[in-house]
Amino acid sequence: MLTSFNAAELKLAVNNIERPFMRPFMFVMPEMLAECVLITRPVNELHAILLAKLNQLAEMMNRTEWDAECQTYWQEFGLPANCQIVMLTEAVRVQAQCISARALRHDGPDAAGDERQLRSMKKLFIMNADADLLKKPGGIAFAAQTFARALNAEDFDFITTEVKFPSTTTTMAQLLAAYLMSSAPGKDASQLRKVCDTFNAHIGPLFDQVNRNARRDVNRGRDREDQARTATVLELTRFLRLIRNESLLSLLITYFGYLFNRYLLAKKRPHLRMTLPLGEIFGHESELSHVNILAVQELLEIFFRNALLVNPTHPQWLRSAADFRYGRGLLSEAGILYMEYLVASRTPLLVAPQENFVEDLIWRRLRICLSKSHWFTLAALVCQNIEHKREEEYIKAMEFLYSQLSLDAGADYSCMVFDNTLAELLSDVYERNHMQPSADLLFSYAYRSCMNPEGRDVLAREQSRRCQRLLRTLAAQLFDAHF
């Protein structure tokens, strides 16, 4: 029963059950089909199992077997012809799910097939709306899938003119469509600003979390409001997790990152704020204490996961994802993402230190991430790329290097020291820790002729070479791979 999809085998297994049957919890049924099929009481367990099997095939993205078994199952259900629209809707939903998964796998695109499938979804959406089926269980999910497919294909007209179904998902879809239209090249910037203000006015209140320090009778009403707000957030989450359009992903990361930053400001932790891909399009960040931060963080995790599946080398997404992990205290993940950002942006790995335009904040945070992983020598070496207040970071790195057990081999990294101040500080640490061989090796690299030449161009080339070697070694260490 757990592994078979054959209707005859499943029917025989159900008939052979002698004791009361308890359906496995993993047997989840498609909501719209279940509403149509399971109309008898008590529930026909065979029909419930067949529905669960259809859902399993859909989750497995096995469209071929889904089509084959669907016909057999439908005959077993013995439903009237007026239920055909529900089955057709489910078939199109499964097809859309497979197309969405294919997009994340970066398989070869089928533009003609995708367009036909989108037309089918839009037609079925209108048919379901006319038949008032979208208000039934599963209807909102189909609407969300239709809206997401249209938005991913940048089909603005369908969302803005043809959709009349009132729901929170519809409102969000129309706001996203308005953003796509207003952000197109040649559009007035004031129009984009107006769309962003409207977006914040509609979506922001959904993520409010009320203060519980109030009278009990007031809290009863707030409990009902919280339940409604939670249901709305769940509905939005099911819709937004389907977004694959790069512009919309940047918008969503920016907006929910904006809420995340405002929460950090309210908690007096402004130094942990994340960089937003689209900047301050939602205005200046102010304190926002009563926000459902768990929902905001969950959505950001979803957006980053989808975004980096769509484009794993997008520098702005990598930077924002690294800042987000850093702000949450996930320093190991943040360090890897910062390094991925540096590799994706390419500039730091290819140019000399004086031509490096990576802001100091990244190097400071990377130092902290490396120190958290007990890579204290690498943390000290990274400080060489800091432009302002470099000595302060050196001192912090030296404190760890002197007092803690380092997990990286300091002496082997002497060839990557290109700043004399760091060389002096490291030599002091080696002498205090009675590491004379390491100190001797450091001196041999620090006082080579290429580091003390008569011409400045020779020194610049050597510093650039050592910097590049440091960054490549750092990438190899963090990625656990060698270039």
Q: What does the pLDDT look like over 317-375, one tens digit per residue?
A: 999 999 999 999 999 999 999 988 988 886 555 454 444 556 889 999 999 999 888 88
The answer to whether 81 and 123 have CB atoms below 8 angstroms apart is no
Q: How far is it, in rounded angstroms, from Cα 70 to Cα 48?
A: 14
β-bridge partners, 291: 208
| φ, ψ of residue 60 in degrees (nearest 5) | -80, -5
**DSSP class of residue 41?**
S
- When mean pLDDT is compared across 16-20, 164-168, 462-466, 475-479, the lowest value belongs to 16-20
Q: What does the pLDDT look like over 407-462, one tens digit per residue?
A: 666 667 888 888 888 888 888 888 887 888 888 888 888 777 676 666 667 777 88
- When mean pLDDT is compared across 28-37, 226-235, 309-318, 337-346, the lowest value belongs to 28-37
Average pLDDT over residues 21-26: 72
428: how many CB neighbours lie within 10 A of its CB? 13
pTM of the model: 0.81
Return the structure tokens found at 224.
Answer: 């009902």
Is 18 in a helix, a strand, or coil? coil
